[in-house]
Structure formats: C-alpha cells, structure tokens
Amino acid sequence: MKLKPILVFDFDGVIVDGLVEYWNSSREACLQLINKTQTVTDLLPIEIPYEFRALRPWVKNGWEMVLLAAEILRADSLLRTNPNDFANNYKESRDEALNRWGWNPKQLQNGLDNVRKQAILTNKEKWLTSHIAFSGVAERINQLANEETDFAVLTTKSKAFTSELLTYLNLYPQLLYGHESGQKPNLLLEIAKNRPIRGFIEDRRITLEIVINTPGLHSIPCYLATWGYLKPQDVHNLPSGINLLRPENLMSPLANWP
C-alpha cells in the first residue's frame, strides 16, 4: 500500500506559543538550581522579562532558557546590560554564561524537565493552558486528512510533554519526535526513507538552512513560519529552497503553497 505524503511541523513557535510556560518553568528550574526558595518574586519577576522575550528567537534547546533566567539574575550580566550584544554573539555569550555558572546542558535540561513534570502532577490544567495554540493552526492541521496528507511533529521539547499538549489540542500526529530522538535533519532523513515529505515547517531559519544543505534532504520543501519566534532579519534574503509561510498560505490548499 502506498503511504500518504507527510507534512512535518516544528512545535514551539509553529503550533503553539508557549512563552508563558517557558518563563514559568525556566524561572522555577533556575531558582531550584541556585537553591533560592524564599522571596522568589524579588529575585526573578513573575511577568516575562523583556530580555527573556527578546532572546527567545535565538534559543534552540530548552536548557538555554534556564540559563537565560540565571543571567537575568545577575545585574552585571551582558544580557541585562546589553541584550543586543548578547543576541549578536549568542553562542559565545551563552557558552560564557554556562561556564560562569559551572553548569552543563544536561543538568539544565533535567532541571527544566523535572519542573515540568511537577507542574503536570500538581496542576495539569494550568500547565496545559499556559500553552496557546497559534490562531487557526490546529484546525488547519486537522484538515490535512482531506488532502490525503498525514502530519508529523519534530520538537526540541520532551516527547512526553509534547504528546500531552498535542492531545490537549486534539492533534494526533502519525509521527512524534522529541529532543531525546536526535537532531531534526537526521530525523527527516529517517522519515524520508519511508514517506514522501510534503514539506517541513519551522520558525528557526538556521535549522532550515541546515536542512536544505543536508545531503538527501535537498528536495524537501522548507517553510519559515512568519508567525513564530523570528529574528528581525530572518525573513530577508532567504536562500533557494526556503519559502516564507504566512498564515494565509497555511490556510490555503497545499497545492497553492509557495
């Protein structure tokens, strides 16, 4: 039997806007790591700080958000004194901060995952509702079956957490891969062995650039979601193989996509 083509979606920044949950969980994980449990609102605000919101487009992995929360704690950190400089040299700034705190990515990711597990155990509904689906996206995904197309989700969030959220949104992908499964280009190669990939939708331009330059993935249509966490310059001078996907494109029949 011939398998249906499959449309592959990133999760955060494409299907859901989880900025409230990102900050809540990252803030709590950070405070636990530095053993600060008293007067926490004086240490890190409950409202999402400007620096955290502004740097979100540069974040690739969840653990980085915990590190950003820690840097917001330091009054003399580059993130506080000059967020633009931190962003313009993001990898170097991130790694310097990691060394300064004496942490490692696995430690931070485990801390973040544990906070999320506890949030689900204590108030699952609150945790779920802190993720807001982008307008119309879930409904459009569920319409793909009418076009004989399946869908998959690749995310740097934990597979277990993503599964909970997808079920909450009434979305049931044929394939779901979390950060435990490996890098997105490798996962796309695995999917492509068995399914024709109709496209890959992502809000991180650098991820799409890696995909189009990966042998074996050149023929996959790549789409940059304009409603996601984009850097200001991301939409300009896109390389061949990456198309802007605006909400109106998403809502149109697949045959009309750029």
Q: 38 and 142, same structural domain?
A: no
* Percent of the chain topping pLDDT 90: 88
In terms of residue numbers, what domain contains 58? 19-129
Q: What angle do CA 21, 24, 28 make, to 5 degrees?
A: 140
Q: 102 and 201, same structural domain?
A: no
pLDDT at 141: 98
The last residue of a domain, from among 87, 104, 129: 129
Question: What is the reported pTM?
Answer: 0.87
Strands 16-17 and 132-133: what pairing? antiparallel
Q: 23 and 13, same structural domain?
A: no
Band (42; pLDDT cuts 50, 70, 90): low
Mean pLDDT of the chain: 93
Please state the three-class secondary structure of 106-153 as a single string.
HHHHHHHHHHHHHHHHHHHHHHHHCCEECCCHHHHHHHHHHHCCEEEE
Domain containing 196 — which CATH number?
3.40.50.1000
Band (257; pLDDT cuts 50, 70, 90): very high
Q: What is the pLDDT of residues 153-205, one digit of tens each?
A: 999 888 998 999 999 999 999 999 998 999 999 999 999 999 999 999 999 99
Q: 92 and 51, same structural domain?
A: yes
Q: What is the pLDDT of residues 231-248, one digit of tens each?
A: 999 999 999 999 999 999
Q: 112 and 173, same structural domain?
A: no
Band (3; pLDDT cuts 50, 70, 90): confident
Q: 99 and 77, same structural domain?
A: yes
Q: 29 and 124, same structural domain?
A: yes
**Integer CA distances (angstroms), 150 to 112, 196, 254, 256, in order:** 31, 10, 12, 17
Q: 151 and 53, same structural domain?
A: no
Q: What SS3 class is residue 222?
A: strand
Q: What is the pLDDT of residues 76-97, one digit of tens each?
A: 999 999 999 999 999 999 999 9
38 has a pLDDT exceeding 90 = no
Q: What is the pLDDT of residues 117-153, one digit of tens each?
A: 999 999 999 999 999 999 999 999 999 999 999 999 9
pLDDT at 44: 87
pLDDT at 154: 97
Residues 6+ apart with CB under 8 A from 144: 7, 150, 151, 254
pLDDT at 157: 86
1 has a pLDDT exceeding 70 = no
CA distance 139 to 234: 26
pLDDT at 194: 92
pLDDT at 115: 95
Q: What is the pLDDT of residues 61-70, one digit of tens each?
A: 899 999 999 9
Query: Number of folded domains in the chain?
Result: 2
41 has a pLDDT exceeding 60 = no
pLDDT at 43: 74
